[in-house]
Amino acid sequence: MRIAVVGSGYVGLVAGACFADLGHEVILVDNDHEKLRALSNGEVPIHEKFLPELLSRHRGHRLTFSDDLKEAVRLSSAIFVAVGTPPTEKGDADLSYVESVAREISGGIENYKVVIEKSTVPVYTSEWVRKIILRSGTDAESFDVASNPEFLREGTAVTDFLFPDRILIGCDSQRSADLLREIYAPLTDGSYYKRADAIPQPDRAAIPPALIITSTKSAELIKHASNAFLAMKISFINAVASVCESVGADVNQVVRGIGADSRIGRRFLNPGIGYGGSCFPKDVMAFRAVAHEYGYEFRLLDEVMRINEEQRRRFLRKIHDALWTLRGKRLAVLGLAFKGGTDDIRESPAIFLVQELLQEGSKITAYDPAAMDRARDVLNASVTFASSPYEAAKGADALLILTEWEEFSNLDLPRLRQELKYPIVIDGRNLYDPEAMAAQGFTYYSVGRPACLPDGVPTGVLKNGKKA
């Protein structure tokens, strides 16, 4: 099938490459000519596992790039809209890019098309897209609008697309549902997974994935509700971690206990420095704004956001507890991306903490396997960037772990201790066992667990940010 994907950002680029890998002919449309030139030349603008392989495999064959949206619409049966929906000052989604694309799509509809929302949008967006296209003089029988939300995690987006937990299709007509069924048939009939060149199967993959068909409104709500619920799980366990610190319990043990309950599950119960990225902060605010617009005050989401902001502040206080004053202190920072496996620093709690530490007069040397180029644009010359964790640690008063990159959980601890001026590690991702770190000679602080001195004796229970 010939497919147009509008928008070559994170979602659009991954979707376009994966649709091509399923066997479809894909036109990726964008009005950013510099980005199109780079993609046409084989440059990969984001750090995402398996994406370079797919772009190299299909670029110029099943995957082409264009700035002509009307022509791409004319040539395609399905048009996936994957443009940005950034938050406004009020917290709701800015749909001006979606509206602009809808107006332009109308000029290319000559026979039946399905226009599919791939961007994360609030409920009723599909109805507005339909109205915009109709107002441009398009025949009502010549198109349908559907919703097909993405559930991609940065760092594993390609495998999430090709090995999804579920494929969600929101349609209000049988004709549009049948077309989307056909698009995803290589996944739902299992034929893709039999190919020798298929992307490697991840652990716990459900093959074939479930296909869930709903109304467009339900699909739009499912996307927002899913992200809000996952953000809630993160904030919940961070709140539990704060209680653990107050009473001297170990949050990792608590997580193991509650996560064993099949009704709750272990995933996303990861205490740390809070969620970030391009989805959770934006989508929680947008879902709250939608609820408010239609008469429901979703106060639970207010608390989810408050806990997330407070978690960053609590970690900053933990750094003060470990080091007292911060002015003039040399700090090594491991991790700048909002999570491991990506170079995305949008709403990154690591960036927030680095900026706060700089304001307090600290001198920062940072290392991240993928995000340093993007971080340079935000942090300017205020931070020194290292080529390895050990270079970052050299002569530092303490080491901060802010992103859960796998390589940070396998550091050469004797070498690390030798490089640090003082063997102090403040771990915002709980990558290490406190007693093991103490046995290696470190003073070790983490989230939701008692701190440990080098002799293995806990430093005491924290009450109101102070040692008992």
- Tens of pLDDT, residues 13-56: 999 999 999 999 999 999 999 999 999 999 999 999 999 999 99
> CB under 8 Å to 82, separation ≥6 — which residues?
5, 6, 7, 9, 11, 12, 15, 118, 119, 150
Round the average pLDDT of the chain to a whole number and report it: 94
CB neighbours of residue 356 within 10 Å: 16
> Quick check: 379 pLDDT over 90?
yes
- For the chain, domains (ranges, CATH) are 2-214 (3.40.50.720), 307-467 (3.40.50.720)
Instruction: Say what percent of the chain tops pLDDT 70.
Output: 97
Residue 464 has pLDDT above 70, yes or no: no
The 3-state DSSP class for residue 425 equals: strand
Structure tokens at 363: 């001198």
pLDDT of residue 465: 42
Residue 269 and residue 265: Cα distance in Å, rounded? 8
Mean pLDDT within 435-446: 95
Residue 4's identity, in one-letter code, is A
345-355 per-position pLDDT tens digit: 999 999 999 99
Query: How are strands ordered across the β-sheet holding 330-334?
Result: 383-385, 363-367, 330-334, 398-401, 424-427, 443-445
CB 3, CB 147: distance < 8 Å: no
29: number of CA atoms within 13 Å, CB side? Answer: 25
Residue 131 CA to its chain's centroid (Å): 31
Helix-helix angle 216-247:251-259, to 10 degrees: 140
Indicate which residues carry an active-site annotation: 279
Beta partners for residue 426, in sequence order: 400, 445
Nearest to 40 by CA among 70, 60, 16: 60
Residue 468 confidence (pLDDT):
40
Q: Is residue 120 classed exposed, middle or buried when 0-12, 13-18 and 19+ CB atoms within 10 A define those classes?
A: buried
- Position 410 scores a pLDDT of 96
Region 397-412: mean pLDDT is: 97
pLDDT per position as a tens digit, 281-324: 999 999 999 999 999 999 999 999 999 999 999 999 999 999 99
**pTM, rounded to two decimals:** 0.90
